[in-house]
Amino acid sequence: MCGIVGYVGSRQVAPVLLDGLSKLEYRGYDSAGIAVYGDGKINVAKARGRLKVLSEMTDEGKSVSGVMGIGHTRWATHGEPSDVNSHPHVSSSGRFAVVHNGIIENYIPLKKRLMNKGYEFVSETDTEIIAQLIEYYYKGDLLEALIKVIERVEGSYALGVLCSDYPDRFVAVRKASPLIVGVGEGENFIASDVTAILKYTRNVYYLEDNEIVVLSKDSVDVYNTDKEIVNKEIFKVDWDVSAAEKGGYEHFMMKEIEEQPKAIRDTVSARIKDGKIVLDDISLDEKYIKGINKIFIVACGSAYHVGVVAKYVIEKMCRIPVEAQIASEFRYCDPIVSCNDLVIVISQSGETADTLAALKEAKARGARVLSIVNVVGSAIANASDDVLYTWAGPEIAVATTKAYSTQLAVVYLLAVYMAEKLGLLTVGEYAEMVREIQELPDKVAEILKSKEKIQYLASQFYNCHSIFFIGRNLDYAVSLEGSLKLKEISYIHSEAYAAGELKHGTISLIEEGTLVVALVTGNNLFDKTVSNIKEVKARGAVVMAVRTDTHLHDDDIADHVITIPSTNEMFLPSLSVIPLQLFGYYVASLKGLDIDKPRNLAKSVTVE
């Protein structure tokens, strides 16, 4: 949601801003704009619609002269997508231009106050108040004025601010919204994430809440709200530029599906040494693990689905009660969490507003928070007691695939690690599990080799109006993800059901030709789910089953059967999800949809 880029240096800035914004398109947006300092004033170009509109309007940026500027892609929250509501927003005098990601919760009283003082507002946005407030507080010192503003606004923000009195520098600040600083040679940057600036520099600063950065061509100074200099450490990003490019693939989603073996290997191999799981990055020792009363897993969307898998896996292996909760529910349910509980927060972006709020809620109640996060230095990572990073690399497609898979891998490592500390595994069981985890990347790669079969099945069903996914236990947890993957990119209605729950109502929706995708990978419950398959088939359903190669002789259970390799039952979700990701992808592709940027969705959901 909303993307920010800022630049000061010697290059013509507008093409740099447009290029950076194009790298942030995946975040989701409906309008775009830039503000550039040139000839003693700030020039703004902004328009509703795709970046292409802005690019054409400015002759790919060439018609806007200047070497310092800020740019923005807006995902509408306050006020419809329109030219006037697009960012940057400019103060009444035209002296200040502001781009903003986040929400200013108290903008209405602040706006009323300024209107009473004669300020005129032109947009419906919450952001315009920032530009006007800076103007109101400005007495010749931009830093001072910005500090006054952030002391008065409530909510979340990443801000980039240009002032026409400052021809060679601009300022930025963040709180609970992402913003990184890119440090180049003779040029410096701000951006919502590193993908926007990776082409120019790999050296970044991660800002803490309310750290303010002043950027000029040759300097980057970070201040706290007492105007004291903060010494920051440079972080070197080791991603390849190609990690954020399509590299010959038609869509990022397929590229990221294919990257899963590597992503899982990168996530796992750094944490297994001489056959032992080593979680150096966190401080959960045996004493602490033995004292855990209950584990909560809190997340949104697909990350929550990882939490549902984790509930089964951790409970089974560690015999500790686990509750998986949707973050937007957890934060408002007055949760019964205490200091003996561990709260595991899962997030790819590390900036999902509900997940961050749930984390704060848990910490306020004394719980210890361990997060599983993909983006280094993100708000969720910063706010956690311990972080286990997933080394998936940048995930650009809105529908997650490789981040989901690496989150699962971290869950397995953590579960086996804790079970061993709890004395619940024999030496042999432990060694076997570690080996099975290490073998997962190759098994995922093996499934990816038979993509054509899934593509064929997609061609048989892409005109369906409604599709059901069923399974029991871990198969149910994966059904949730398979169903979400399909519906979010193909716009086909789909539901995931615990197979045993179907006959308590939902089975009445099954009619002649309804597609039911049945996951039957678990050995223990194989026969139970096969009975459910028979029930839906008896009512006209066409069934596509996913089962392991241990059931090779069971081809008559369904109309179509997809086979995956076997592994320890606890780790099967990593394998069974792959055909479902591919199925969703191919269905959307056959429907000719915008797979990487599905309608109405944003990659990083930074508002609640």
**Residues with catalytic function:** 2, 603
Q: Is residue 357 at the binding interface for ligand F6R, with CB under 6 A as the rule? A: no
- Provide the minimum distance between the beta carbon of 413 and ligand F6R in the complex, in angstroms, as a whole number: 18
Minimum CB separation of residue 257 from ligand F6R in Å reads 12
Cβ nearer to ligand F6R, comparing 196 with 536: 196
Quick note: the x/- pattern for ligand F6R over 244-283, rule CB under 6 A, is ----------------------------------------
| Tokens 């709180």, residue located | 175
Which residue shows structure tokens 């947009």? 123
Instruction: Give the closest residue to 74 by CA, choosing from 98, 41, 96, 94.
Output: 98
Q: Which is nearer to ligand F6R, 351 or 436 (CB)?
A: 351
H or E element in which residue 550 lies: none
Running DSSP on this structure, what letter comes out for residue 1? -
**Contact of 215 with 190, CB cutoff 8 Å:** yes
Per CB under 6 A, which of residues 99..128 are in contact with ligand F6R?
none
* Stretch of residues binding ligand F6R (CB under 6 A), selected from 133-141, 156-164, 348-356, 458-466: 348-356
Query: Minimum Å distance from CB 485 to ligand F6R?
Result: 6
Measured from the CB atom, the residue of 196 and 484 that comes closer to ligand F6R is: 484
Q: Quick one: residue 264, left, alpha or beta (phi over 0 = left, psi -120 to 50 = alpha)? A: alpha
CB closer to ligand F6R, 84 vs 326? 326
Cβ distance to ligand F6R smaller for residue 201 or 347: 347
Taking CB under 6 A as the rule, does residue 355 contact ligand F6R?
yes
Strand ranges of the sheet holding 386-389, from the earlier edge strand across to the other edge: 322-326, 294-299, 341-347, 368-373, 386-389
379, amino acid identity: A
Are the C-beta atoms of residues 489 and 302 closer than 8 Å to each other? Answer: no
In which residue are the tokens 């006020």 written? 79
Q: Would you say 19 or 488 has its CB closer to ligand F6R?
A: 488
Q: Do 187 and 11 contact (CB within 8 A), yes or no? A: yes
Stretch that binds ligand F6R, among 187-195, 219-227, 346-354, 587-595 (CB under 6 A): 346-354
Residue 490 and residue 519 in contact, taking contact as beta carbons nearer than 8 Å: no
Q: How many CA atoms lie within 13 A of 590 on its CB side?
A: 18
The distance of closest approach from Cβ of residue 401 to ligand F6R in the complex, given in angstroms and rounded to an integer, is 8
- CA 208, CA 316: separation in Å to the nearest integer? 38
CB of 380 to ligand F6R, least distance (A): 8
- Which range touches ligand F6R (CB under 6 A), out of 40-48, 349-357, 491-499, 588-596? 349-357
- Rounded to a whole number of angstroms, the minimum distance from the CB of residue 346 to ligand F6R is 7
Q: Which CB, 430 or 586, lies closer to ligand F6R?
A: 586
* Site for ligand F6R contains 347 (CB under 6 A): yes
Contacting range for ligand F6R; rule: CB under 6 A; set: 167-175, 246-254, 342-350, 441-449 = 342-350
Binding residue (CB under 6 A) for ligand F6R from 91, 348, 490, 548 = 348
Q: Which of 58, 73, 86, 349 binds ligand F6R (CB under 6 A)?
A: 349
What is the smallest separation between the CB atom of 397 and ligand F6R, expressed in angstroms? Answer: 8
DSSP 415-426: HHHHHHHTT-S-
Q: Break the chain down into helix, strand, coil percent, rounded to 5.
A: 40, 25, 35
Q: How many CB atoms lie within 10 A of CB 33?
A: 25
Instruction: Give me the residue label for tokens 């033995």.
Output: 290
User: Which residues inside 276-315 make contact with ligand F6R, applying CB under 6 A?
Assistant: 300-303
563 binds ligand F6R (CB under 6 A): no
The nearest distance, CB 407 to ligand F6R, in angstroms, is: 8
The answer to whether the beta carbons of residues 475 and 446 sit under 8 Å apart is no
What does 31-98 look like in DSSP terms, one character per residue? EEEEEEEETTEEEEEEEES-HHHHHHHTTTTTTS--SEEEEEEE--SSS-S-TTTSSPEE-TTS-EEE
Residue 337, H or E segment: none
Write down the least CB distance from residue 400 to ligand F6R, Å.
Answer: 3
Residue facing ligand F6R at closest CB distance: 301
- Residue 530, token pair as written in the block: 């096969």
Stretch that binds ligand F6R, among 56-64, 235-243, 345-353, 531-539 (CB under 6 A): 345-353
Chain positions 455 to 484 lying near ligand F6R, rule: CB under 6 A, are: 484
- List b or e across 321-337, with b for residues whose CB sees 16 or more CB atoms inside 10 angstroms: ebbbbbbbebbeeebeb
- What is the C-alpha separation between 363 and 366, in angstroms, rounded? 5
Comparison of 420 and 481: residue with beta carbon closer to ligand F6R: 481
For residue 88, is the peptide bond before it cis, meaning its omega torsion is within 30 degrees of 0? yes
The number of CA neighbours under 13 Å toward the Cβ of 338 is: 5
Report strand pairing: 180-183 vs 203-206: antiparallel
Q: Which CB, 355 or 589, lies closer to ligand F6R?
A: 355
Compute the distance between CA of residue 397 and CA of residue 488 in angstroms, rounded to an integer: 12
Quick check: 400 binds ligand F6R (CB under 6 A)? yes
What the block records as the tokens of 381 is 């990572």
Which is closer to ligand F6R, CB of 325 or CB of 349? 349
Nearest approach, Cβ of residue 394 and ligand F6R (Å)? 12
Q: With contacts defined by CB under 6 A, how many residues of the chain interact with ligand F6R?
A: 15
> Count of alpha carbons within 13 Å of 276, Cβ hemisphere only?
6
Rule CB under 6 A: which of 9-68 touch ligand F6R? none
Give the integer Cα–Cα distance in Å for 214 and 558: 63
Q: Using CB under 6 A, pick the residue from 353, 399, 434, 515 that binds ligand F6R.
A: 399
Residues making contact with ligand F6R (CB under 6 A): 300-303, 347-349, 352, 355, 399-400, 484, 488, 604-605
